[in-house]
């Protein structure tokens, strides 16, 4: 099986690079992972420099939980896990379960040299996963309003990811991170990633904040047409990944923070973004574009009929710019992954709507457990022919693996 989305690349924090005992640096919002007190102090100093009030969140907690609390207060683009290739049971005992679960261990899997310490290969082997495609976490580059800084961050992330892929190209491939705050720069970086780094497409975390932290600039807007032309020319897929709406656009969630993120806001935000792409006429201009949506399509397969028909008794022409029905583009220009949506009923609905040739198995690791994804998929009530397509052959074709 070939999971299409692994949120893991390199740290955004310079201090990690200065420590030779840091074996692996992996991006994930939530916590710093290390048993080395010196690394704690360096992490804390950087956190305090960015957010002086963060210290209050960790008072009275043991060190492991302090770091967890500190990082919870940092904006997502500045969060990272710093993992060492050693397991410290005392440290682990102090960490919340999600942190322990994804921490590198001491036992090297059979196909990894001990100095690499990548526990993920053992999980992949255990669950029949041959290749993972890695990407930068969300919202990352899209949440950096300064175009120059965003572009620099994207390039650094892509170079770091390329180094990881180069170590084990038989197990890892990569998606490019792109700073759409600068369209021309994003095109150049995209072409570099496709031609020089040999990445398998790009992953962008929804809208970009451009110049103003409160701005939300979507990819259907006219200034992005040259970018889409470059994507079509490359003949590689584009992964539209979720992010939360900005606070100024989130009034409907006020008082209900549990609805943010993957519970609801991720899917709603990304589904509307995808519909904007379709309704703008993008796929009439660039009919060979292929967009990948995670989480079984962010709820769109279930809504296709209603989106197109509205109230059938109203005999008025649709107001979007696309020449055909929305469902026609959905079936011709989109692929869906199973990432973070391990429910057979939802899979069957997606199969009926878009077909087995356009669905890809994915784990969404480390935000979801690999065993949960693989065990569910292996037992899902679908034909073996469809299981092979979704679990392997579709990915080989789409990503040219």
Q: What percent of the chain has a predicted confidence (pLDDT) above 70?
A: 70
pLDDT tens digits for range 134-174? 998 888 899 999 999 999 999 999 999 999 899 889 999 99
**In whole angstroms, what is the distance from residue 346 CA to residue 297 CA?**
10
Alpha-carbon distance values, 19 to 36, 64, 92, 134, 216 (Å): 11, 19, 21, 24, 37
Lowest mean pLDDT among 2-11, 115-124, 322-331, 356-365: 2-11
Q: What SS3 state is found at 351?
A: helix
**In whole angstroms, what is the distance from residue 15 CA to residue 197 CA?**
26
Q: What is the DSSP letter of 217?
A: B
User: Do 264 and 258 contact (CB within 8 A), yes or no?
Assistant: no
**In whole angstroms, what is the distance from residue 179 CA to residue 181 CA?**
5
The residue that leads in pLDDT, 295 or 86, is 295
Per the confidence metrics, is the pTM higher than 0.95?
no
pLDDT number for residue 313: 67
User: Do 346 and 338 contact (CB within 8 A), yes or no?
Assistant: no
pLDDT tens digits for range 335-363? 999 999 999 999 999 999 999 999 999 99
Lowest mean pLDDT among 86-95, 169-178, 180-189, 301-310: 86-95
Res. 25 pLDDT band, cuts 50 70 90: very low
pLDDT tens digits for range 235-260? 999 999 999 999 889 999 999 998 99
pLDDT number for residue 119: 72
Give the angle subtended at the CA of 7 by the CAs of 212 and 154, to the nearest 5°: 45
Q: What SS3 state is found at 24?
A: strand
**In whole angstroms, what is the distance from residue 246 CA to residue 260 CA?**
11
Catalytic sites, residue numbers: 364
Q: How many residues does the chain have?
A: 401
pLDDT for residue 27 is more than 60: no
The residue that leads in pLDDT, 20 or 252, is 252
pLDDT tens digits for range 114-137? 334 367 888 888 899 999 999 988
pLDDT number for residue 311: 64
Work out the average pLDDT over 61-81. Answer: 39
The DSSP annotation for 155-199 comes to: HHHHHHHHHHHHH-TTTEEE-B---TTSHHHHHHHHHHHHHTS--
């Amino acid at each position: 099986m070939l999971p299409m989305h692994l949120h893991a690349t390199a740290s955004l924090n310079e201090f990690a690079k200065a420590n030779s005992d840091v074996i692996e640096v992996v991006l994930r919002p939530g916590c710093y992972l290390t048993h080395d007190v010196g690394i704690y102090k360096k992490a804390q100093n950087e956190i305090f420099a960015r957010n002086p009030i963060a210290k209050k969140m960790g008072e009275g907690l043991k060190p492991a939980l302090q770091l967890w609390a500190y990082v919870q207060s940092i904006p997502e683009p500045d969060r990272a896990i710093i993992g060492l290739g050693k397991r410290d049971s005392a440290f682990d005992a102090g960490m919340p379960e999600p942190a322990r679960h994804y921490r590198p261990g001491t036992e090297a899997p059979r196909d990894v040299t001990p100095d690499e310490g990548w526990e993920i290969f053992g999980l992949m082997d255990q669950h029949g996963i041959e290749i993972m495609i890695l990407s930068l976490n969300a919202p990352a580059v899209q949440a950096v309003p300064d175009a120059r800084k965003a572009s620099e961050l994207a390039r650094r992330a892509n170079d770091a990811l390329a180094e990881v892929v180069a170590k084990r190209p038989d197990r890892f491939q990569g998606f490019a991170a792109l700073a759409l705050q600068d369209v021309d720069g994003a095109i150049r970086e995209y072409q570099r990633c496709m031609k020089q780094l040999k990445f398998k497409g790009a992953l962008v975390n929804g809208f970009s904040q451009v110049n103003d932290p409160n701005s939300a600039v979507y990819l259907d807007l006219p200034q992005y047409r040259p970018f889409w032309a470059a994507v079509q020319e490359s003949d590689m897929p584009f992964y539209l990944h979720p992010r939360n709406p900005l606070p100024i656009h989130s009034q409907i969630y006020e008082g209900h923070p549990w609805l943010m993120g993957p519970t609801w806001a991720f899917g709603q935000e990304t589904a509307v973004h995808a519909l904007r792409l379709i309704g703008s006429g993008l796929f009439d201009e660039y009919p060979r574009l292929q967009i990948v949506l995670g989480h079984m399509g962010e709820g769109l397969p279930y809504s296709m009929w209603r989106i197109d028909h509205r109230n059938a008794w109203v005999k008025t022409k649709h107001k979007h710019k696309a020449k055909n029905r929305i469902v026609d583009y959905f079936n011709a220009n989109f692929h869906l992954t199973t990432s973070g949506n391990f429910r057979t009923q939802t899979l069957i609905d997606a199969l009926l709507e878009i077909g087995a040739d356009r669905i890809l198995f994915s784990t969404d690791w480390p935000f979801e457990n690999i065993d949960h994804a693989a065990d569910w998929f292996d037992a899902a009530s679908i034909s073996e022919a469809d299981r092979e397509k979704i679990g392997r052959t579709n990915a080989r074709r789409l990503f040219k693996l």
